[in-house]
Homo-oligomer: A and B are copies of this chain.
Amino acid sequence: MVIVIMKVQATMREISAVIARIEDAGYKVHLSEGDERTIIGLIGEGQPLDIDQIERMAGVERCVPVLQPFKLASKDFKPDGTKFPIGNHIVGGDEIILMAGPCSVESRSQILETAHACKEAGAHILRGGAYKPRSSPYSFQGLGEEGLKYLAEAREQTGMPVVTEVMEPGLVPLVCEYADILQIGARNMQNYALLHAVGESQHPVLLKRGMSSLMEEWLMSAEYVLSHGNKRVMMCERGIRTFERYTRNTFDINAIPVIKHESHLPIIADPSHATGKWEYVSAAARASIAAGADGLIIEVHHRPEEALSDGAQSLKPERFAKLVTEMKAIAQAVDRNIN
């Protein structure tokens, strides 16, 4: 529903033109003529309508959307939260899901060693990048399919399902062969060809928020995936870009209750990217659970000082194990559990 506010000096002819346009698109009109100005409401269901277009018509002051633009992702569409199993765990219920692992898969031994350490510390799902989006063409770009194979081997050894990033539509089938969850990175949140492709896959999707995306846009990107038939989407808050410089990103913790309020989709927090410094990851992780997150994705590396990417924000396995204990205490305090 949209409200069209006409200018004070709008003529009857201009008002009629707006009404005709709205009715042509299949909506009913809801007209309010005041002393000062006329207001036109759109009612019912019609063809998708571009607000810009209406705003450009003669006599129109501005348009105000009354409802949010997403449907399948909205709480109204599905008042109960979305739950689905991943491995032996249920995402979106009382459990809090822990995903952990290195930023990048660097070698067979590195990912196997880290995977075992994460598993022992209490992680449920293994993360690790085989394809890495790097701002420099000269930085390490990931091991590609070789990395996927190592991840699959780590899954076999530890029993942990694997989440990994896919960066282009053409690679979705290949990544699906090896991984359990497809991650859409922040830089690709509005790569619509990619959203389309993962929407047609049958793998759960971890959809990271773009680094300067409105929550509404992020939910619209979820809508892309949902509208192509894939219902298993997890939203992932990973910090937004602001003016602040002490931290790599600003962790928008408000996003956790907002997504819970506006949508039925599970919300995962990424305290590693949201802070960018390992010193602050534990505080941010605890806060995420206190705010209502359904899970976390945390970077863990055996030797962060040798990591090929994101070393500054990775926890050592010992620190991660300590954090799991802390998170369990917080989970209990909010009537959730970490199994």
Question: Which residues in A have some Cβ–Cβ distance to B below 8 Å?
Answer: 1, 3, 5, 28, 30-32, 34-37, 39, 41, 43-44, 48, 50, 52-58, 61, 64, 66, 69-70, 133-141, 167-170, 187-188, 190-194, 211-212, 214-217, 220-221, 223-224, 227-228, 240-247, 250-254, 256-258, 261-262, 274-275, 278-280, 283-284, 286-292, 304-314, 326, 329-330, 332-334
CA distance A137 to B223 in the complex (A): 7
- Chain B nearest CB: distance from A140 CB in Å? 7
Pick from B52, B57, B168, B279: contact of A309, CB below 8 A.
B52
A3→B309 contact, CB < 8 A: no
CB contact under 8 A between A69 and B136, given known A246-B254, A254-B250: yes
Residue among A61, A214, A332 facing the most chain B CB atoms (10 A cut-off): A214
A304→B30 contact, CB < 8 A: no
CA distance A141 to B261 in the complex (A): 29
Query: What chain B residues lie within 8 Å of A275 (beta carbons)?
Result: 254, 257
CA distance A192 to B278 in the complex (A): 27
A56→B305 contact, CB < 8 A: yes
CA distance A287 to B230 in the complex (A): 32
CA distance A193 to B291 in the complex (A): 36
- Chain B nearest CB: distance from A22 CB in Å? 13
A247→B258 contact, CB < 8 A: yes
Given A55-B312, A56-B311, 8 additional A-B pairs, CB 8 A: A31-B32, A50-B140, A135-B190, A212-B212, A214-B244, A242-B242, A254-B274, A332-B333
CA distance A307 to B57 in the complex (A): 10
CA distance A70 to B141 in the complex (A): 16
Query: What chain B residues lie within 8 Å of A5 (beta carbons)?
Result: 3, 66
B212→A243 contact, CB < 8 A: yes
B242→A247 contact, CB < 8 A: no
CB contact under 8 A between A53 and B307, given known A48-B136, A212-B211: yes
- CB nearest neighbor in B for A260: B283
Pick from B216, B290, B307, B309: contact of A286, CB below 8 A.
B290
B305→A280 contact, CB < 8 A: no
- CB nearest neighbor in B for A68: B246
A52→B291 contact, CB < 8 A: no
Residue among A32, A52, A58, A141 facing the most chain B CB atoms (10 A cut-off): A52
CA distance A308 to B56 in the complex (A): 11
- CB nearest neighbor in B for A314: B56
- Chain B nearest CB: distance from A114 CB in Å? 15
CA distance A32 to B38 in the complex (A): 11
Query: What chain B residues lie within 8 Å of A309 (beta carbons)?
Result: 50, 52
CA distance A251 to B250 in the complex (A): 9
CA distance A48 to B243 in the complex (A): 26
A168→B139 contact, CB < 8 A: no
CA distance A287 to B170 in the complex (A): 40
Query: What chain B residues lie within 8 Å of A287 (beta carbons)?
Result: 253, 256, 287-288, 290-291
